[in-house]
């Protein structure tokens, strides 16, 4: 479990996350939604230990996140940032192997356990056939799955993903949502920032709605994704429609 | 592994070429003999070959590290101001009439000063962008101060000496020079070799690298200190030799791929080979004196780099 206690995060002189107290659970996908500037990415970066909170605490299990050494933290939390286009054209397998860095000593070669984890991650993300391709030759969907496999290879308890559907067409969005769901079903805690509200309704167990850095609503998706909450979060009318067992959110 | 063995074999040939190149032919039988040939070999060619290989290695290695860290294929030690700061220290020493160990100390002090300023200006967690901006400021200021000192030189002889030194050369270097520079280059090179996995992680961006357990402050210190020691010592003993750190990593990526850690040792070996070959060629050009190594490196490096770029662009099209 990850527990936030009066968490505040500042960006420059502006408070972008303001007094959040809530907890996230394993085996669940939690979607963070909200308008631009609501504090979604700042919250996710704080949860990943990438920014120091201005106030409050983040507890990972029973340990304050700030007390964990960097490598230990990396063994618990896999983080998939926005726009993580690799700077160099390494092969897909080399990219996925980066997920094992927290498990390896400085000059050690990949151990059998590392190789098994990389193989498994590539199989789960369905990219085994791309192993020797360089990342600059991949399509957007292939690259998204390769980046996700890198996180899976870390065998972390938690996966944080920041807008993993950005720039993907509907079939590739579906593939990434399947990967998020499968990770949670395998026992991980998944926290994902999403702008696609119907995707959030489809994949999430819980939804956190942020407005101006504060928690507007948090709980099971059926309770949170209501026209009234969405109107309060985004300032526009939206219809929440049930269709063949699925929830669709349509702006008016 | 195959590439490294091939590079080691070529390095062995380049070392042999460096030991045999010169106005005087010295057969292998005389290399260790107590003859004029043996003295030339022991006192001139051996230190020159050792320094050429070492300087090329640290320039190639630091170029690969800086390109990986800055995620920019145009980076090399001159971009971050270490070379020009060490050169400024050397120029001050020449103007003060110093040479030998004191001149070496002045150049190293220039490099050390640049490392301190680089880390201070880049700031805590300033990241690669802060690092390169700080480096460019340092390079510009050092270059301007060097030009000012040249213009203030007391006589044409001093001006000529400074300009010749700045062009870089291995001529007449001794075992004392090698003994002074090699420990610094070895220490700097060792620090730079520690950066491989962090550079690999940084390929994914700063946030992803930190989430993989990489400490960005430690990485910045390792690179600044490693480059300062290794490149500072190379400039202190030969002057400024350009292009090696820029072109060699590009060349080795054609064979070992683009993963930064995979380019480090091959870039060191490639830099050693290129410097030894260029330094051998300058000795074979007929004329009253030698062409300076820095000039030869630019003459070889620029067309070579142009062809490499044309080939890469042709492949991408």
pLDDT tens-digit profile of B139-190?
A: 999 999 999 999 998 888 889 989 888 888 888 889 999 999 999 999 999 9
pLDDT of amino acid B118: 86
Shortest alpha-carbon distance between residue A60 and chain B (Å): 15
Q: Residue B212 and residue A74: Cβ atoms within 8 Å?
A: yes
Q: SS3 for B205?
A: coil
The tens digit of pLDDT for each residue in B67-122 reads 999 998 888 888 889 999 999 999 999 999 888 899 999 999 999 999 998 888 87
For A163, phi then psi, to 5°, come to: 50, 60
What is the 3 state secondary structure string of A161-187?
EECCCCCCCHHHHHHHHHHHHHHHHCC
Nearest CA-CA partner of B265 in B215, B179, B190: B190
Query: Which of B69, B193, B211, B258 to mutate against chain A (most A CBs within 10 Å)?
Result: B211
Q: SS3 for A236?
A: coil
A77 in contact with chain B, both atoms CB, cutoff 8 A: yes
Q: Residue B200 and residue A104: Cβ atoms within 8 Å?
A: no
Q: Residue B210 and residue A134: Cβ atoms within 8 Å?
A: no
**Based on the number of CB atoms within 10 Å of its own CB, is B120 exposed (0-12), middle (13-18) or buried (19 or more)?**
exposed
Interface confidence (ipTM) of the complex: 0.91
Residues 144-163 of chain B with CB under 8 A from chain A are none
- How far apart CA B186 and CA B38 sit, in angstroms, is 27
Are B234 and B52 a contacting pair, CB within 8 Å? no
Judging contacts by C-beta atoms under 8 Å, the chain B residues touching residue A45 are 207
The tens digit of pLDDT for each residue in A67-93 reads 999 999 999 999 999 876 788 999 999
pLDDT for residue B126 is more than 70: no
Query: Which of A71, A88, A149 to mutate against chain B (most B CBs within 10 Å)?
Result: A88
Q: Residue B204 and residue A150: Cβ atoms within 8 Å?
A: yes
Q: Residue B203 and residue A88: Cβ atoms within 8 Å?
A: yes
A88 in contact with chain B, both atoms CB, cutoff 8 A: yes
Q: Residue A70 and residue B213: Cβ atoms within 8 Å?
A: yes
pLDDT of amino acid B124: 63
Min mean pLDDT across A35-49, A64-78, B45-59, B236-250 is at B236-250
- How far apart CA A125 and CA A78 sit, in angstroms, is 15
pLDDT for residue B229 is more than 90: yes
In whole angstroms, how large is the CA radius of gyration of chain A? 18
**pLDDT confidence bin for B291, thresholds 50/70/90:** confident
Selecting from A73, A75, A88 the residue whose C-beta is nearest the C-beta of B260 gives A88
Output b/e per residue, B149-177; b: 16+ Cβ within 10 A: bbeebeeeebbebbebbbbbbbeebeeeb
Judging contacts by C-beta atoms under 8 Å, the chain A residues touching residue B208 are 79-81, 84
A107 or A70, which is more confident = A70
Are A7 and A20 a contacting pair, CB within 8 Å? yes
- What is the pTM (predicted TM-score) of this model? 0.91
pLDDT for residue A228 is more than 90: yes
The tens digit of pLDDT for each residue in A141-157 reads 899 999 999 999 999 99
Q: Residue A94 and residue B259: Cβ atoms within 8 Å?
A: yes
Looking at every residue in chain B, the average pLDDT score rounds to 89
Query: Which of B213, B257, B263, B316 to mutate against chain A (most A CBs within 10 Å)?
Result: B213
Percent of chain B with pLDDT over 90: 56
Shortest alpha-carbon distance between residue B281 and chain A (Å): 34
- How far apart CA B29 and CA A126 sit, in angstroms, is 64
Kindly identify which residue of chain A lies nearest to residue B197, measuring between CA atoms: A106
In this prediction, residues B239-266 reach a mean pLDDT of: 92
Are B61 and B195 a contacting pair, CB within 8 Å? no
Report residue A242 CA to chain centroid gap.
26
In this prediction, residues B192-207 reach a mean pLDDT of: 94
In this prediction, residues A165-174 reach a mean pLDDT of: 86
pLDDT of amino acid B79: 85
- How far apart CA A155 and CA A146 sit, in angstroms, is 15
Q: Which domains does chain B have, with CATH numbers?
A: 2-316 (1.10.3470.10)
Shortest alpha-carbon distance between residue B221 and chain A (Å): 17
- How far apart CA A151 and CA A206 sit, in angstroms, is 22
Q: Residue B212 and residue A98: Cβ atoms within 8 Å?
A: yes
Which overall architecture, per CATH, does domain A2-84+157-251 show? 3-Layer(aba) Sandwich (3.40)
B257 in contact with chain A, both atoms CB, cutoff 8 A: yes
**pLDDT confidence bin for B125, thresholds 50/70/90:** low
Q: Residue B213 and residue A150: Cβ atoms within 8 Å?
A: no
């Amino acid at each position: 479990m990850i527990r936030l206690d009066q968490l505040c995060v500042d960006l420059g002189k502006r408070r972008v996350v303001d007094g959040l107290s809530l907890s996230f659970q394993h085996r669940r996908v939690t979607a963070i939604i909200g308008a631009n500037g609501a504090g979604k990415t700042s919250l996710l970066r704080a949860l990943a230990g990438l920014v120091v909170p201005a106030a409050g605490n983040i507890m990972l299990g029973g340990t304050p996140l700030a007390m964990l050494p960097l490598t230990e933290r990396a063994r618990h939390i896999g983080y998939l940032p926005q726009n993580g286009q690799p700077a160099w054209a390494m092969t897909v397998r080399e990219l996925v192997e980066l997920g094992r860095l927290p498990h390896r000593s400085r000059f050690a070669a990949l151990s059998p356990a590392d190789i098994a984890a990389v193989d498994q991650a590539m199989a789960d993300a369905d990219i085994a056939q791309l192993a020797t391709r360089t990342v600059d030759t991949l399509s957007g969907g292939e690259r998204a799955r390769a980046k996700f496999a890198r996180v899976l290879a870390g065998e972390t308890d938690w996966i944080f993903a920041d807008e993993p559907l950005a720039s993907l067409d509907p079939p590739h969005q579906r593939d990434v949502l399947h990967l998020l769901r499968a990770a949670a079903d395998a026992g991980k805690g998944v926290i994902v920032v999403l702008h696609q509200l119907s995707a959030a309704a489809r994949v999430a167990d819980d939804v956190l709605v942020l407005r101006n850095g504060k928690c507007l609503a948090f709980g099971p998706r059926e309770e949170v994704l209501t026209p009234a909450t969405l109107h309060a979060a985004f300032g526009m009318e939206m219809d929440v429609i049930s269709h063949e067992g699925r929830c669709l959110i349509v702006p008016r | 592994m195959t590439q490294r063995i091939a590079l080691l074999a070529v390095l062995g040939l380049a070392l042999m070429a460096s030991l045999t190149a010169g106005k005087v032919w010295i057969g292998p039988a005389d290399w260790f003999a107590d003859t004029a040939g043996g003295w030339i070999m022991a006192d001139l060619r051996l230190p020159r070959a050792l320094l050429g290989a070492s300087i090329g290695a640290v320039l190639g290695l630091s170029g690969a590290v800086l390109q990986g860290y800055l995620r920019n294929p145009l980076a090399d030690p001159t971009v971050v101001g270490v070379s020009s700061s060490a050169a400024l220290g050397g120029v001050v020493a020449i103007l003060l009439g110093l040479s030998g160990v004191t001149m070496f100390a002045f150049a190293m002090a220039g490099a050390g000063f640049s490392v301190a300023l680089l880390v201070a200006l880049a700031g805590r967690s300033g990241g690669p962008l802060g690092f390169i901006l700080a480096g460019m400021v340092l390079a510009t200021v050092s270059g301007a101060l060097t030009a000012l000192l040249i213009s203030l030189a007391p006589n044409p002889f001093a001006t000529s000496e400074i300009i010749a030194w700045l062009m870089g050369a291995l001529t007449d270097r001794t075992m004392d020079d090698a003994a002074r520079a090699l420990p610094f280059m070895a220490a700097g090179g060792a620090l730079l070799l520690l950066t491989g996995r962090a550079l690999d992680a940084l390929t994914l961006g700063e946030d992803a690298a930190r989430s993989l357990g990489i400490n960005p402050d430690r990485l910045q210190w390792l690179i600044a200190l490693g480059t300062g020691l290794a490149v500072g010592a190379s400039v202190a003993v030969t002057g400024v030799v350009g292009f090696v750190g820029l072109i060699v990593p590009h060349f080795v990526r054609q064979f070992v791929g683009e993963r930064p850690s995979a380019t480090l040792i091959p870039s060191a070996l490639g830099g050693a080979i290129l410097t030894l070959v260029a330094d051998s060629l300058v000795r074979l050009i007929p004329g009253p004196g030698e062409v300076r190594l820095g000039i030869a490196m630019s003459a070889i490096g620029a067309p070579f780099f142009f062809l490499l770029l044309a080939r890469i662009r042709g492949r991408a099209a």
